[in-house]
Amino acid sequence: MKSFALRLVFWQKMYGRHGLPWQTREPYLVWLSEIMLQQTQVATVLDYYPRFVAAFPNVQALAAADEDEVMGLWQGLGYYSRARNLHKAAKQVVTEFAGKFPRSRIELQTLCGVGRSTAAAIAAFCFDARETILDGNVKRVLCRVLALDGHPTNKTFEQLLWRTAESLLPEDAADMPAYIQGLMDLGATVCKRSNPICATCPMSDICLARAQNRICELPRKKTTTTIKNLVLFWLIMRNAEGALFLHKRNAKGIWGGLWCVPCLDSLQQLYELAAEFGLSANELNEGAEISHRLTHRQLQILPFSALINAESSVNSLSIAGKWVLPENLADYGLPRPLHAYLSAAQGNLF
């Protein structure tokens, strides 16, 4: 299908998205946007991206930053491993590539958190490399235009999609930025998962799925993932100065790397930890249950709050942490439901 690339490049230049802040040839800015846009809508990233760039205008600034500062700016964007990998990759660029992003997809893939599709996008946008991307939007476009039928989680089928995508690349390397942006734009704005706008699609007359009346059928839908319910218990403590006790969560797991109040798996564990602070069960005030949905989990959070009079030594506790005054909370990356809970409470927790 030789006309695919030419049609797409022309359409993108005429009707595609332009003026996005990350549409540039600067690798650092493109890389940052690609990481932020993973599983996140453009509208959300448009809110976070300018603040992140203002704080870390270049890869050297990001590499030199404290991890808590990075996590704090990422707060609410979700998938926090992206922020940790972003920080690690910035250090890689500085230490392994003398502060300059590598130009090839293969070298870009050595950066922490950068997969094949992300590396290809950076190489194509910034260096005109003839490399293809293959995200969910692109898979949908290919499956429909070429009537490719297979299960999205099947590795053999995915390899077929990669080979197909590579065969459609434009011959002129100078067309690569418009072509890759066109793939993104077409899947996001026209060839949408539901209610695609076929009448304005540049591929409408060559789309095999449309000719076969299989638009709604292709691509095959992923198997529904079971949502697990998880009950958690928060121990929310303030000392006489109004400072909140926080600890930094492990990198792996829910809210990895963020600062949070002690989060326990059972009420018994909560009582045992409270006792380390000199608190009895009767001194804990149970708050209203908090419901929070993650991608594959439905959280039911039960908050228990208390005021600490005789402060325990942080060094003697079974959990590492620190006391943080309310005016300093903005310096710490907090889980979204905790940030919302504390904002709503406005000092009326105790």
Q: Which residues are catalytic?
A: 34
If you search the block for the tokens 């942490």, which residue do you land on?
A: 321
- Bridge partners for 245 per DSSP: 323
Q: Give the span between the Cα atoms of 123 and 106, in whole angstroms.
A: 10
Q: Give the span between the Cα atoms of 220 and 260, in whole angstroms.
A: 40
Q: Give the span between the Cα atoms of 94 and 227, in whole angstroms.
A: 40
- The Cβ of residue 266 has, within 10 Å, a number of other Cβ atoms equal to 11
Q: What are phi and psi of 2, to 5 degrees?
A: -65, -25
- Bridge partners for 306 per DSSP: 237
Q: Give the span between the Cα atoms of 187 and 193, in whole angstroms.
A: 8
* Cis, peptide link before residue 219, omega less than 30° from 0: yes
Q: Which of 346, 293, 259 is nearest to 74 (CA)?
A: 259
Q: Which of 54, 56, 57, 33 is nearest to 45 (CA)?
A: 33
Strands 290-293 and 322-324, sheet pairing: unpaired
CB 134 within 8 A of CB 161: yes
